[in-house]
Chains A and B, each alone.
Chain A
Amino acid sequence: MNKYIALVGTNTKQSTNRQLLQFMKRHFDQKAAIEIIEVSGLPMFNKPADREVPQRAKDIAKKIDASDGVIIATPEYDHAVPAVLMNALEWLSYGIHPFLDKPVMIIGASFGALGTSRAQAHLRQMLDSPELGARIMPSSEYLVGNVLSAFDDQGNLTDKEKIDQLDALFTDFEKFVKISKELWHTTDVNRVAIKKLDHEDFG
């Protein structure tokens, strides 16, 4: 059974993205072990000269390192990823690189009908940067719009079509994780390139 780390891309207490991840954790518990992790509580990234990364970021990095893949649920603020998630990704690419070659699946829930499409594209762009270097599952946008009516009292998705879509996507993701293990030919060069970036005072 594969182990996945699921990042909640927001710090708000009432988050439908957290709810969506909790649903996935229960729904797929026969297939996979999903651990949900909060990204809030990290200090604002200020590129400290001593390159000291907060312990909490190191802990998250360790868990990602030990996982088979990462699922990120992002809301959309101002047509983009929330600052709190961007901040976590900055710490998680400053001298440490847990995302390098890590398979990532992006999902998102929103109140409106559009369901975080712009934030997901933004997140893809970030994860694709050399400092993060994740392997993002292609053609796999999963959006849940109008979330206020999407879950029942138990926090389960109500729309059968949405559940079927999620099932199919997750099956594909598991396959993608497997295939990704064979995409190792660039790993060494990427590691060298990223070490070079680390030695320069980028930004």
Chain B
Amino acid sequence: MKLVGIAGTVEDKSYNRTLLEFIANHFSNVVDIDILSIDDLPMFDQDNDITNSGAIQYLNRKISNADGVIIATPEHNHTITAALKSALEWLSFNVHPFSGKPVMIVGASYYQQGSSRAQLNLRQILEAPGVNAIVFPGNEFLLANVKEAFDENGNLKDEKTVSFLSSTLQKFLKFVKVINMMNDKTGDDGEAENEDLTASGKIETTIEGVDMTADDWVEKAAEKVNAVDGNTYVKLDRGILTVDQLNYFLNSMPIELTYADSNNQFIYYNRMADAKKMLAPRTPGQAGDPLANVHPKRAVHGVKAVIHALRTGKTDLVSMPVPGNGPDRFVVHYYKAMHNADGDYVGINEFVADLIPTIKWYLAQTGQKLVADPNAKVDASTGASSNDADSKTDADTGASEDVDTPEATNDGGDVDATSGASEN
């Protein structure tokens, strides 16, 4: 289980941060806690939306990906700090990573009161509709007289306090499991279905006035925007190539690349071979198509779920093995979220590779062979696993249903769940 911890302060020295660090270290055998900082966030200002900044996107991704959150709050003026409130305002404005997320509140203070009023107030804020967290009821953990509470190594001195904290945390971990089970049953945030696969929207780079579905979309769109080609130089991060050189380079990649932009339009693939020879076949006429046109209807739900998970930062990478290619092939479709310098989602880099040649080469080089693990629980042939993706995303993609169907077992073309351009 993976939690994130937030110390509700931007002070250089904070006992609440010390408390979180103690929890993370002391209970590292039962739970993995990543401590996040809110230091870099400016004051919330609805007129100056910086949701797309790296600092907010980082918190958004980290919290979204976590199973639960622990917030340690000090108390100023009978309430939480402005810094914590400001962070929560950013994270409930145009992104909502706390939505449905189990949250435990703890607090340390200099006096007898602990941080009781601040905790109560934080509870009320977290339960506001824009934040929509699910706050762990009861089990208030207040650490009073904090100056005397820790030894020089940052460990809580009082054994009773540690054991109370331990039982509180154990209960919270159960709570997290129950809440996440409930979340899974009701699906994700329900917004995945809003993904518009017909690419009817428009982003800055959308080329308007050209029929997306036309076979010569590339030629017409290129004319429209005066796209450069041939020996014209293009400045890249990091280097300079001509368009020809860029093509030599991309078309000789050992993987099949597909670019789907954030408007869900399939705008590029590296045409390294004829469709028949590709692991995930694409034809020249498909470039420019909306994603809806290059997927079978039954794959739509899975496609939307994958795009939504990448767009909202729930995961950065979805990996799907495609079975049915025989023992000599292990084809994997990877869907990687792309972001610009501001951390904005800009689309999907789909890359498809057959891992078997690499594995065979490695075995030959090192003099080893593959042996089946009798204890393994992984059923590689059913597909739809995701390494970076959390299990929730995995369950939601629905891709395994697709790959199990008989017609999907020929060349992997029509199981292409996200940005691909399968012929169907």
Contact = CB atoms under 8 A, between A and B. Distances in A.
B83 interface: yes
A120 interface: no
B88 interface: yes
Interface in A71-96: 77-84, 86-87, 89-90, 93
B47 A45 contact: no
Contact of A44 (B10, B78, B89): B10
B74 A46 contact: no
A30 interface: no
A78 B128 contact: yes
Interface residues of A, number: 35
B78 A125 contact: yes
B82 A47 contact: no
Given A80-B128, A87-B43, A201 B78 contact: no
Q: Is the interface of A mostly helix, strand, loop or mixed?
A: loop
A118 interface: yes
A12 interface: yes
Nearest to B13: A49
Interface in B80-98: 80-83, 85-86, 88-89, 92
A87 B80 CA distance: 10
Nearest to A10: B46
Nearest to A125: B78
Given A79-B127, A128-B78, A131-B77, A86 B85 contact: yes
A46 B78 CA distance: 16
Nearest to A203: B74
A131 B74 CA distance: 15
Most B Cβ at <10 Å: residue of A81, A83, A84: A83
Contacts of B111: 202
B128 to A, nearest CB: 4
Contacts of B76: 45, 90, 131, 202-203
Contact of A86 (B11, B42, B79): B79
Contacts of B109: 203
Contacts of B79: 80-81, 86, 122, 125-126, 129
B351 interface: no
Given A44-B86, A122-B121, A125-B121, A84 B78 contact: no
A90 B45 contact: no
B223 interface: no
Contacts of B89: 77-78, 82-83
A79 B128 contact: yes
A22 interface: no
Given A77-B89, A201-B110, A202-B110, A84 B75 contact: no
Contacts of B80: 86
Q: Is the interface of B mostly helix, strand, loop or mixed?
A: loop
Interface string B1-23: 00000000111101000000000
Nearest to B74: A203
A11 B78 contact: no
A86 B130 CA distance: 19
A132 interface: yes
A123 to B, nearest CB: 9
Given A118-B124, A125-B121, A44 B110 contact: no
A59 B324 CA distance: 74
A87 B128 CA distance: 20
Most B Cβ at <10 Å: residue of A44, A84, A122, A201: A44
Nearest to B16: A203
A156 interface: no
B45 A45 contact: no
A200 B109 CA distance: 12
A78 B131 contact: yes
A80 B124 contact: yes
Contacts of B11: 46-47, 203
A67 interface: no
B46 A12 contact: yes
A90 B74 CA distance: 13
B44 interface: yes
A40 interface: yes
Contacts of A82: 44, 85, 89
A13 interface: yes
B117 interface: yes
A84 B77 contact: no
- When A and B form their complex, which 9 residue pairs have the shortest distance between CB atoms, in order from nearest? A87-B82, A83-B86, A83-B85, A79-B128, A86-B82, A129-B78, A78-B128, A129-B77, A126-B77
14 contacts: A11-B43, A11-B45, A12-B45, A12-B47, A45-B82, A46-B9, A46-B10, A78-B88, A78-B92, A84-B43, A86-B85, A90-B82, A122-B124, A203-B9
Interface of A: 11-14, 40, 44-47, 49, 77-84, 86-87, 89-90, 93, 118, 122, 125-126, 128-129, 131-132, 200-203
